[in-house]
Structure 1
Amino acid sequence: MTSIKNKPFLPTSQRPLAGLLIVAAGLLAAGCDRGAPNTDANGMAPNTPAASGVGPGVGNSPTNAGAPPPDSPENSRTGSRVGIPQGSPEAGMATPENTPTTGGVGAVAPSPGAAASAAPPASGTSSTAPGPAVPLSASEKAFMAAAHVAGLYEIEVGRIGAERAQDTKVKALAGHLVSEHSVANDALRGLAALRNVELPTSLPPDRQADIDKLKKAPAAQFDETMVQAVVIPAHQDDIARFERAQQDARDPELKAFIQRTLPTLHQHLKSAQTLALPPKS
């Protein structure tokens, strides 16, 4: 720089301005001589390895003059922590790594209590299975044999009625006798096999005689004979027999069979009694 001594003498009025220029020049020279601390020629901080080993280090980004320091409590304009990326767990926001999604939209993870309440109950906690079997009494065995014979009898009556009945409602009743008593007898045979009870497989002589009479009934009186002389009295006897056994039976599966079959017997009796009513004038 040019020394002030080589300058012509300045007037007194210009001396303060010259002093200020000298001070400014000195400060400028001092700033040019001092390099920016911890920066390279491009204004970058020294290349410091990243702590995680992934991505650039802390010093690999341009210096952001005027930005708040990383440990500043809060950015007054955004209300978020400075130096913490938005969307990180520290910022209190959900991220793709820690938030389940449904259809691409972030969803709140269920709480452990909600997951426990939604879990299905353990199997075997409640059961409606019958209790343990007990040895059958003589009356229980006798009931099973009589119920099976009654079923065989009504199945045969239904078969004859399906062939000979003229009234459509009588034919329909005959079909119910065949199908529903067959189901009941199948269940009874299964229970007898479990309890080692031998059931009769044919009708006794008195029941067979009734079947023979029904087969020979005149066509004009067949429907009335079947309903009045066979179906109604047979089901009245069946219901009385089942209701007595319901009170006396101790075997849980036998009681369950009785409870399932009684409504069917009542329905057959009701249908037959309706058919037997005289027509309304």
Structure 2
Amino acid sequence: MKRTAFIFACLLVATPALAQSVGEKTGVNSALGVTPATADFVKEVAISDMFEIESNKLAQNKGTAAEKTFAAQMVTDHTKTSSELKSLVSGGKVSAQIPTELDSAHKSKLDKLKGLTGKDFSASFTDMQVDAHKDAVSLFERYGKGGDNADLKSWASKTLPALKHHLEMAQKLEKAEK
């Protein structure tokens, strides 16, 4: 009985620490409006930027004229935000690890895009872009409002308008293809 109580107590103590990481992965934090931890924010932003750059490079080769224009802007903008994030971390203003490769979920999406052509590529690409930018807007809004690192919080707030514009562009692209 004491052992069970001890295990239960340990779980209660550990749950808040684990909640942000698990919540960010599952979208629970976004739905609840919970501010991500700094480490989670940095990880999600870095992976998002890598996915944006790689998926849009594919669109520059496989997409329609409108998708190629959109993709060129996304590669430029997300390369810039990726560089800015790396500077914040390497400059010591943010203490976090920046992942160097995509997580399995984003690798899977990228692999799917690589295997598609024509209208199938366009439909999947635009859907992924809308979803990715909705997630990014939510992530940056939540960190910009409640993040615990002042420099990163300021950067998130400064970057948010561009991400909202990207979402609008992706939504227009999606509507034009339907």
Match of 1:209 in 2: 108
Shift of 1:162: 0.5
SS of equivalent residue, structure 1 residue 277: helix
Indicate the structure with greater helix content. 2
Match of 1:244 in 2: 142
Shift of 1:219: 2.1
| Matched residue type, 2:38 | E
Match of 1:84 in 2: none
| Matched residue type, 1:248 | G
- Is 1:187–2:121 an aligned residue pair? no
- Is 1:200–2:87 an aligned residue pair? no
Distance in 2 between the 1:259 and 1:231 partners? 21
Shift of 1:278: 4.8
Distance in 2 between the 1:171 and 1:267 partners? 17
Q: TM-score, normalised by structure 1?
A: 0.48
Shift of 1:161: 0.5
Q: Pick one of 148, 157, 162 that aligns with 1:264.
A: 162
Distance in 2 between the 1:252 and 1:145 partners? 17
Match of 2:66 in 1: 169
Distance in 1 between the 2:114 and 2:125 partners? 10
Distance in 1 between the 2:110 and 2:166 partners? 18
Match of 1:130 in 2: none
* 1:1-40 per-position Cα deviation (integer Å, ceiling 9, x unaligned): xxxxxxxxxxxxxxxxxxxxxxxxxxxxxxxxxxxxxxxx
How many residues are treated as equivalent by the alignment? 141
Q: Which runs of 5+ in 1 are unaligned?
A: 1-137
* 1:197-238 per-position Cα deviation (integer Å, ceiling 9, x unaligned): 22101001111010000011132322222112x100011111
Q: Pick one of 45, 53, 72 that aligns with 1:147.
A: 45
Q: Which has the higher contact order (CA 8 A, sep 6+)?
A: 2
Distance in 2 between the 1:182 and 1:278 partners? 26
Q: Give the root-mean-square deviation of aligned CA atoms.
A: 1.8
Sequence identity (%): 26
Match of 1:4 in 2: none
Distance in 1 between the 2:44 and 2:174 partners? 27
* 1:86-145 per-position Cα deviation (integer Å, ceiling 9, x unaligned): xxxxxxxxxxxxxxxxxxxxxxxxxxxxxxxxxxxxxxxxxxxxxxxxxxxx81122111
